[in-house]
Structure 1
Amino acid sequence: MLRTEIEKALAVLKDGGVILYPTDTVWGLGCDATNEQAAAKINAIKGRAEDKSFIVLLDTDAKIQSYVTEVPDVAYDLIEYAENPLTLVFPGAKNLAKNVINADGSVGIRIARHEFCQQLIQRFRKPITSTSANVSGAATPGFFDEISEEIKVAVDYVIDWEQELKISKKPSTIMKLAPGGQFSFIRR
């Protein structure tokens, strides 16, 4: 079943579509992070500002250097020792859709530690976006049943995996990294 859902998700992502999918944090809206039109679709679905950046998911930290100009060594340590999902905001984003990148040129990247996400990203061979599955300004849903019908009908595909789980998950911790390796918390 997991394999079937990954195949369906791949087809949607390759076609520039938007998926509603489970992650290691909350359910997310995802698309090809290199596709500007796909990212614009997510903004339209959420009713959010066009200038708001996205978190980008990768399956391994070895790929970070493909999407940021400089990766401080401390980033690898933070990722390795993080006990909870961790998003690192790096300066100098590259090779991503311009509307995925923050106005200051930074991008938030999380290494997904979730079976579905890892397999999907590995097969897709590109990063995918992750933003909470809610209308902008509304509460972040803790699990699938809390996601509004408005969101569910607006996406191109809803992943049929882990929908029955009632474990409420939290958004990731977000830390901002400076080129020299200094870091600060944005969200704990």
Structure 2
Amino acid sequence: MDINQEIQNAYEVIKEGGIILYPTDTVWGIGCDATNPEAVAKIYKLKQRAETQSMICLMNGEKMMYNVFKEIPEVAWQILDLSENPTTLILDKPRNIAPNIIAPDNTLGIRIVKEPFCFKLMERMKKPLVSTSANISGQPTPKSFKEISPEIIKSVDYVVNLHHDKIGGKPSTIIKLTNDSQVKVIRK
């Protein structure tokens, strides 16, 4: 399958407020336009997840990060530069984002991706992409496409036709950073 065609197909669905099932740099994810509260609400409903349990946003670089965060602690860049594995950072005071994706403590988890599909899709969208594991809340995270439940597959608006045979994704490391430079590892 042609990656550019899949980017176009996913973009058309996201632009209309739809949700997609797609491969990330870690595991298969459910995603949408992170600035669209109605689309974000669809994902919470699909996952049977409380809106107080926030989801993360994928971003494709510094420009997108500064559009969402006015202040980014210097240590964030150091962690991203030194991380060998995909790393999610939880940062303070996001803006220009759907309010229902922001955690109750006014933070947002973000991950910079290099995976070509996600990177190019966000380049096209010019917006961050919601990313949450492709499972119902409380169920195990699927490690490959074949482990995703049929309920999830039939409930999204589009399934990206790439990497269906890819095995062995692992969720990202999660590190919480505050603007006053406190660092806390949430998941290794």
Cross-structure match for 2:180: 180
**TM-score, normalised by the number of residues in structure 2:** 0.97
Unmatched tracts of structure 1, length 5 or more:
none
Separation in structure 2 between the aligned mates of residue 122 and residue 45 of structure 1, nearest angstrom? 26
* Number of equivalent positions: 187
Q: Deviations over 1:110-156 (max 9, x none)?
A: 00121110010111100010000001110000010000000000000
Task: Trace 1:157-168 onto structure 2 (pairs within 5 A).
Answer: 157-166=158-167, 168=168
Separation in structure 1 between the aligned mates of residue 12 and residue 37 of structure 2, nearest angstrom? 17
Q: Deviations over 1:16-63 (max 9, x none)?
A: 000000000110000000000000000111111122211000011232
Separation in structure 2 between the aligned mates of residue 144 and residue 61 of structure 1, nearest angstrom? 30
The alignment status of 1:41 with 2:7, answered yes or no, reads: no
Deviation at 1:67, TM superposition (A): 0.7
Cross-structure match for 2:109: 108
Cross-structure match for 2:52: 51
Task: Trace 1:73-112 onto structure 2 (pairs within 5 A).
Answer: 73-112=74-113
Deviation at 1:180, TM superposition (A): 2.6
Q: Deviations over 1:86-110 (max 9, x none)?
A: 0000011111101110011100010
Separation in structure 2 between the aligned mates of residue 96 and residue 33 of structure 1, nearest angstrom? 6
Give the secondary structure class of the aligned counterpart of 1:185.
strand
What amino acid is the match of 2:185? F
Separation in structure 1 between the aligned mates of residue 98 and residue 77 of structure 2, nearest angstrom? 24
Give the secondary structure class of the aligned counterpart of 1:99.
helix
**TM-score, normalised by the number of residues in structure 1:** 0.97
Deviation at 1:66, TM superposition (A): 1.0
Are 1:75 and 1:181, in contact at CA under 8 Å, matched by a contact in 2?
no
Cross-structure match for 1:169: 169
Greater alpha carbon shift after TM alignment, 177-186 vs 101-110: 177-186
Deviation at 1:182, TM superposition (A): 2.8
Unmatched tracts of structure 2, length 5 or more:
none
What amino acid is the match of 1:3? N
Separation in structure 1 between the aligned mates of residue 32 and residue 80 of structure 2, nearest angstrom? 23
Separation in structure 2 between the aligned mates of residue 180 and residue 63 of structure 1, nearest angstrom? 22
Give the secondary structure class of the aligned counterpart of 1:108.
strand
Separation in structure 2 between the aligned mates of residue 84 and residue 14 of structure 1, nearest angstrom? 30
Cross-structure match for 2:138: 137
Separation in structure 2 between the aligned mates of residue 182 and residue 106 of structure 1, nearest angstrom? 13
The alignment status of 1:153 with 2:154, answered yes or no, reads: yes
Q: Percent identity?
A: 47
Deviation at 1:181, TM superposition (A): 2.5
What amino acid is the match of 1:76? W
Are 1:86 and 1:174, in contact at CA under 8 Å, matched by a contact in 2?
yes
